[in-house]
Amino acid sequence: MRAWAVALLLLTGVPAVAEPPPPPDVPLADPVAEQKAKALMGELRCLTCQNQSIADSGAAQAQAMRVEVRERIAAGEEPEAVRAFFVERYGDWVSFVPPARQDTALLWAAPLLFLALGAVLVMRRIRR
């Protein structure tokens, strides 16, 4: 009997301290704006579950970030301006899309460089 009571308590008891679950998402009424917002959410990193985008994460802060994205898009901001808002606060790290700058040139050029290398190797093989 007692064991059952303990088991029941363990199953139904809530921890004394727990973060309240985030409120449900409210999509924007305008489907085009919602689409824009959703696309950006997939490219912003969640700070709580760092390998997830805020679109995928169930964390409360990701939800707050989605609200921020939706409100800014609804107010007419371009997705790139909204991304810049987050980068200004958290750095490049918060965006899954690396910025195109001088110091990231090698990163962006790498696929072309490797393709060229492959082409050279294939050419040499054919000539032989």
Partner 1 sequence: MTMGTRALWLLPLALFAGLVVLMAGNLGKPQQAVVRSHLVGKPVPALALEGVAGAQGLTNADLASGKPVLLNLFASWCLPCAVEAPQLEALRAKGVTIHAIAVRDQPADVEGFLAKHGNPFGRIGQDPGGRMMIAFGASGVPETFVVDGKGIIRFQHLGEIRAEHVPMLMAELEKAR
Residues near partner 1 (CB under 8 A) are 17-20, 22, 47-48, 50-51, 60-61, 63-65, 67-68, 86-91, 93-94
Q: Which is nearer to partner 1, 34 or 68 (CB)?
A: 68
Q: Which is nearer to partner 1, 9 or 14 (CB)?
A: 14
Sole residue written with tokens 């990193």 = 45
State the Cα–Cα distance between residues 108 and 128, nearest whole angstrom: 32
Q: Which is nearer to partner 1, 8 or 99 (CB)?
A: 99
Minimum Å gap between C-beta 28 and partner 1 is: 16
Burial class (CB in 10 A: 0-12, 13-18, 19+), 116: exposed
Angle ∠(103,81,63) on CA atoms, nearest 5:
105
